[in-house]
Structure 1
Amino acid sequence: MSDLLSTDRVVIVTGAGQGIGRAHALAFAADGAAVVVNDFNADAAQAVVDEIVAGGGNAVADGADVADWTAGAELVATAIREFGGLDTVVNNAGFLRDRMLVSLSEDEWDAVVRVHLKGHFVVLRHAADYWRAQSKAGAQRAARVVNTSSGAGLFGSVGQGNYAAAKAAIAELTIQAAAELGGYGIAVNAIAPAARTQMTMGAGEAMAAQMAPPADGSFDAMDPANISPLVVWLGSAAADVTGRVFEVEGGTITLLDAWQRAASRDKGARWEPAEVGAVVDTLVAESPAPVPVYGAR
């Protein structure tokens, strides 16, 4: 990558020790950014830093738990201390605890929602505090946040109720943050990526086969590096969009247009319960069909 959108920018990438996060960190570094490589596995984070430095880039490792309030503040402070500021946050950290809803435990629910949703909020919150202070001091930055939602969160995924709920909330958090933070020069967008990662390869034999690299050497649509060009652009000062969610897989980028109002009927008075069924049938018939839930029969 050589567009150099990221020259002189300081970027935090969470969950960057492997998979999609690692690809983001390498892409930003190749594009000229100084990168804070965050991963709860500190050794994995350091390995990515070593790879970046060996290629002539600039990076430091951080092993913070992104869902811990104090650690999240220190993560932002690390970027400012090491590189003199912060321009972009890519919230990517997460993991799975897949189970059908009737078998899902409280701990499995809490753990996934904590890392995905709270982890996004904590880093966003502390970065926004810094950017707001910069704006009020007359030194507003072209700040950018790229959150990571998922097709599971947008359309549902059987056996992933905790993950899907957290990822859906992240999409809405993106819209909320874009509306609240735009006045400080902060643009907030999200991606819903599909790529080969440790999480997807561990999701069963059928998924692993679907995600495997093509044997004939043709374009590898599931390579995590395919996701990063969009993220590098969204994380740059050139990005002129906010509050949007993009699905990205292989060479395809799709703008998602969820939760638009569809068909409507106004009686001009309170509905009677017996009237509602026919009205709902009409609304459903006049509205687009929802995207099928992943894994639904």
Structure 2
Amino acid sequence: MSELCRDRVVIVTGAGRGIGRAHALAFAAAGARVVVNDVGVALDGSATGEGPAARVVAEIEQAGGKAVPSTDDVADFAGAENLVRTAVESFGGLDVLVNNAGFVRDRMLVNLGEDEWDAVIRVHLKGHFASLRHAAGYWRGEAKAGRTPDARVINTSSGAGLLGSVGQANYSAAKAGIAGLTVVAAAELGRYGVRVNAIAPSARTRMTEEVFSAAMARPADGFDAMAPENVSPLVVWLGSAESAGVTGRVFEVEGGKVSLAQAWRHGPEVDKGGRWDAGELGPVVEKLLAEGPEPEPVYGAS
């Protein structure tokens, strides 16, 4: 990989394993200095006592790159602040934030507990917000001091957030919220030199290993379409100076495919010019549905 991000300072959250680890290694290979953040928890968010962030840092350093570990909890507001501070104190600034940390607690909606809802929303959605909030504060300060950044944020949504996924109401809601957060942040932070985009990746990780079978992941031609490393080139490009004209977008990426997700858009309308009576609206709704496209199916729906 070319040194597309030479000397850029990059935070990658949830970087101890899977897609986040692939991002951290790819940024380092592209010349970036990387803060490898991972609190080190199991798939369901429980503590493990492991140190995956330090192991990824060691991999980067063995390859000749520069990195430091962080075990801050990104969903803790003070922890997210400390994460940004770590980047600035270790490498003198911050150029790119990759929000990737997350876990799942899948249940059908009628079985989903309040704690399972809160935990997933906390790590995915609040974790994205808290890290973004403190990074944005740093970049705004730089801009006001006359040092306008060339900064990037890459958030991690999901096909589940864009289309929904049966058995993942909490995860789908969090990932949909991240897509919404992305477009708002792009609109608000552009004045400070910050470009904000999101990806919706499909890859084999701890969260998806039961979904993607070995046959799907390793076809006969030898290309591992579900390898997490397939996602990272787009993230590295979005983190580079070349992506200056791209903001507020969500990209789907899987294997060798990259596509631009189409957001909610205004569709067909009927304007009466006054208040509707409820009894009038049946034919109106039928007309709107007939004129509009059919929605994409929810993942897992029969």
Q: TM-score, normalised by structure 2?
A: 0.95
What amino acid is the match of 1:36? V
- Provide the secondary structure at the position in 2 that maps to 1:53: helix
Name the counterpart of 2:250.
Answer: 245
Q: Identity rate of aligned residues, in percent?
A: 65
Task: Write the deviation string for residues 151-175 of structure 1: whole angstroms up to 9, x where unpaired.
Answer: 0000000000000000000000000
Task: Write the deviation string for residues 191-248 of structure 1: whole angstroms up to 9, x where unpaired.
Answer: 0000011100145xxx33465323x352211111110111001111211211110011
Name the CA distance, whole Å, in 2 between partners of 1:277 and 1:15.
48
- Provide the secondary structure at the position in 1 that maps to 2:109: coil
Name the counterpart of 2:39.
Answer: 40
Change in 2 beyond 3 A, CA 1:210/1:287: farther
Name the counterpart of 1:222.
Answer: 226
Q: How does 1:176-195 map to 2 (within 5 A)?
A: 176-195=184-203
Name the counterpart of 1:14.
Answer: 13
Q: How does 1:1-297 map to 2 (within 5 A)?
A: 1-2=1-2, 4-41=3-40, 43-203=51-211, 207-209=212-214, 211-214=216-219, 216-239=220-243, 240-297=245-302
What amino acid is the match of 2:12? V
Q: How many residues align?
A: 292
- Provide the secondary structure at the position in 1 that maps to 2:75: coil
What amino acid is the match of 1:83? F
User: Are 1:88 and 1:145, in contact at CA under 8 Å, matched by a contact in 2?
Assistant: yes
User: Are 2:27 and 2:236, in contact at CA under 8 Å, matched by a contact in 1?
Assistant: yes
What amino acid is the match of 2:222? S
Name the CA distance, whole Å, in 1 between partners of 2:31 and 2:185.
27
Residue 24 (structure 1) shift: 0.3
User: Are 1:196 and 1:211, in contact at CA under 8 Å, matched by a contact in 2?
Assistant: no
Task: Write the deviation string for residues 46-91 of structure 1: whole angstroms up to 9, x where unpaired.
Answer: 1111000000000011111100011111100000000000000000
Q: TM-score, normalised by structure 1?
A: 0.96
| Runs of 4+ displaced beyond 4 Å | none
What amino acid is the match of 2:52? A
Name the CA distance, whole Å, in 2 between partners of 1:191 and 1:242.
12
User: Are 1:195 and 1:211, in contact at CA under 8 Å, matched by a contact in 2?
Assistant: no
Task: Write the deviation string for residues 18-68 of structure 1: whole angstroms up to 9, x where unpaired.
Answer: 100000000000000000000011611111110000000000111111000
- Provide the secondary structure at the position in 2 that maps to 1:132: helix
Task: Write the deviation string for residues 91-141 of structure 1: whole angstroms up to 9, x where unpaired.
Answer: 000000000110000000000000000000000000000000000000111
Name the CA distance, whole Å, in 2 between partners of 1:80 and 1:217.
44
User: Are 1:246 and 1:255, in contact at CA under 8 Å, matched by a contact in 2?
Assistant: yes
Name the CA distance, whole Å, in 1 between partners of 2:215 and 2:171.
21
- Provide the secondary structure at the position in 1 that maps to 2:79: helix
What amino acid is the match of 2:206? Q
Name the counterpart of 2:44.
Answer: none
Residue 275 (structure 1) shift: 1.3
Q: Which runs of 5+ in 2 are unaligned?
A: 41-49
